[in-house]
């Protein structure tokens, strides 16, 4: 499956610390292989249709949705901030 990075995701990714970027890269490699990989702990975002969250660390999440033949990465950052407006 093709992975597409939204401009918002790219901007937020660039603002992450280098250590969180490295952990995000690792999780995105798992996502590219299988979005159901256990370490991602993927689940639907509550109160929003068709948007999912994945885990980078305990405190950091990324969100995504599916669009035809692509997985679109929407946001990445601190848990509460990212999930407040996925």
DSSP letters, 27-42, are: HHHHHHH-TT-GGG--
| Distance from chain centroid for Cα 69 | 17
Buried b (16+ CB within 10 A) or exposed e, 38-64: eebebeebeeeeebbbbbbeeebbbbb
Domain extent for 31:
2-84
Provide the domain count of the chain.
Answer: 1
CATH of the domain at 39: 3.30.2310.20
Tell me the pTM: 0.92
Task: List pLDDT tens digits, range 27-66.
Answer: 999 999 999 999 999 999 998 889 999 999 999 999 999 9
Reference 1, options 69, 75, 84; nearest CA is 69
Residue 1 has pLDDT above 90, yes or no: no
């Amino acid at each position: 499956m093709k992975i597409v990075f939204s401009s918002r995701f790219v901007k937020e990714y660039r603002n992450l610390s280098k250590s969180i970027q490295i952990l995000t890269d690792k999780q995105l490699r798992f996502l590219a292989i299988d979005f159901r990989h256990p370490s991602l702990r993927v689940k639907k975002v509550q109160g929003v249709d068709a948007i999912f969250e994945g885990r980078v660390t305990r405190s950091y999440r990324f969100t995504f949705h599916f669009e035809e033949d692509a997985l679109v990465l929407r946001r990445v950052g601190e848990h509460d901030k990212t999930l407040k407006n996925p």
